[in-house]
Amino acid sequence: MAILALLQYYRLRIFVFFIRLLLIKRGPIPVAPDNVLQIPSRDQNRTIKAHIYRPIKAKTPSPVLINLHGSGFVLPVHGEDDFYCRYVSNNSTYTVFDVQYRLAPENPFPAPLHDVEDVVRYIQSRPDEYDASQMSIGGFSAGANLSLSASSMMLPRDTFRSVIAFYPPAEMAGLPENKTPPDASGHRIPPFLARTFDSAYFQNTDPCDPRISPFYAPAEQFPASMYIVTPAQDYLADEGAELAGRIRREGGGKYVLHKRVEGCGHGWDKHPKKGSHEERMREEAYQMAVEILKR
Ligand SMILES: *[C@@H]1O[C@H](CO)[C@@H](O)[C@H](O)[C@H]1NC(C)=O
Ligand SMILES: *[C@@H]1O[C@H](CO)[C@@H](O)[C@H](O)[C@H]1NC(C)=O
Ligand SMILES: *[C@@H]1O[C@H](CO)[C@@H](O)[C@H](O)[C@H]1NC(C)=O
Ligand SMILES: *[C@@H]1O[C@H](CO)[C@@H](O)[C@H](O)[C@H]1NC(C)=O
């Protein structure tokens, strides 16, 4: 059993090594945060990098949005949400922490969630700078999944005012090949890739564990407001919509906003062409994120 797990682990390591190599060839991701923080981790001699985006209309102490990028839990693409983070800090009083959480398979569940906890502690320990009573969390894809887990299962209830989840995988126990998008006209993530990435994250933990699958977390544990965005061409759209519906029904009066984005797929908002449908949908979806933060 232990040998099988070890073989599986090295298979993942090798696979992910090659995928990351492809990313390195694309070169560094251009980013323009206001500054870069190294936040102390619970592990000795380790810090967690965060890009900080400061609001134009600053308020002291500042409300905070923690953002977690998409990664399939394994891809080192921190910085990919630069536009979004700046959009939020431009249009609200929120300081955005874009956090470089640890990646699988080297650091499976719960490592990235521990990083989020450590960042939350850091923010809470600086009341002169940050207003921890106005802290929200959100992210994209795997980062959205981590935001849902962190806000419902890892940190005390009411740590976050709202959670923002762009195209989250919400239900890990189901097989990707058995899931279909509401609109099948787009291209889809190959199921084997999704499966490999998911298993890199939860490795030997039960995917039905509610800390991994927020889908199974009690509805009342989520923050008071939620914004879930599901692009219609994404095979994860149904589970995102279902999660939103369940929390609306069972959450005891939480504000749940579900936005279905027609004609777009997973990750549609990264680098849309100028003047395209995708760009207009990005503006709409991001504007609603700002509205949720202002609630
Ligand atoms: C941390 O760094 C210090 C100084 O470089 C070193 O002496 C110590 O062994 C390190 N601790 C760990 C756990 O790596
Ligand atoms: C943020 O505001 C600056 C200054 O007004 C502007 O140059 C920039 O394009 C804005 N960025 C976003 C993403 O809205
Ligand atoms: C996170 O993703 C995993 C894998 O797809 C899934 O099992 C889990 O339910 C998701 N968690 C949440 C909170 O949606
Ligand atoms: C947000 O700011 C950008 C420019 O930075 C602007 O184009 C956009 O309309 C603003 N949106 C809202 C909702 O204020």
CA of 45 to the centre of ligand 1 (A): 6
Q: Which atom of ligand 1 is nearest to 44's Cα?
A: 13
β partners of residue 47: 40
Sequence-ordered list of residues with C-beta below 8 angstroms from that of 212, at least 6 positions apart, any chain: 109, 149, 172, 201, 202, 205, 206
Q: Which ligand is nearest to the CA of 96?
A: 2
- At 221-241, the pLDDT tens digits run 999 999 999 999 998 898 899
Q: Which letter does DSSP use for residue 214 in this model?
A: G
Would you list the domain boundaries of the chain? 30-293
Structure confidence at residue 226 (pLDDT): 96
Asked if the model's pLDDT at residue 208 lies above 80, the reply is no
47 lines ligand 1 (CB under 6 A): no
- At 101-135, the pLDDT tens digits run 999 999 999 999 999 999 999 999 999 999 999 99
CA of 116 to the centre of ligand 4 (A): 28
- At 251-263, the pLDDT tens digits run 999 999 999 999 9
The CATH number of domain 30-293 is 3.30.70.120: no
Sequence-ordered list of residues with C-beta below 8 angstroms from that of 157, at least 6 positions apart, any chain: 220, 221, 223
Q: What are the strands of the beta sheet with 95-99, ordered from one edge?
A: 35-40, 47-53, 95-99, 62-68, 130-140, 162-166, 225-231, 255-261
207 lines ligand 3 (CB under 6 A): yes
Residue 25 or residue 42, greater confidence: 42
Of 125, 146, 126, which is closest to residue 78 (Cα–Cα)?
146
Q: Which ligand is nearest to the CA of 91?
A: 4
pTM reported for the whole predicted model = 0.91
251 lines ligand 3 (CB under 6 A): no
**Mean pLDDT, rounded, for 80-109:** 96
Q: Residue 150 phi/psi, 5° resolution?
A: -60, -40
Structure confidence at residue 148 (pLDDT): 94
Best mutation site among 53, 67, 86 for ligand 2 pocket (most ligand atoms within 8 Å of CB): 86
Distances (CA, A) of 41 to 75, 117, 238, 257: 21, 9, 36, 33
In the chain the first and final C-alpha atoms are separated, in Å, by 50
Structure confidence at residue 181 (pLDDT): 83
Of 60, 71, 70, 64, which is closest to residue 39 (Cα–Cα)?
64
Do the Cβ atoms of 236 and 230 come closer than 8 Å?
A: yes
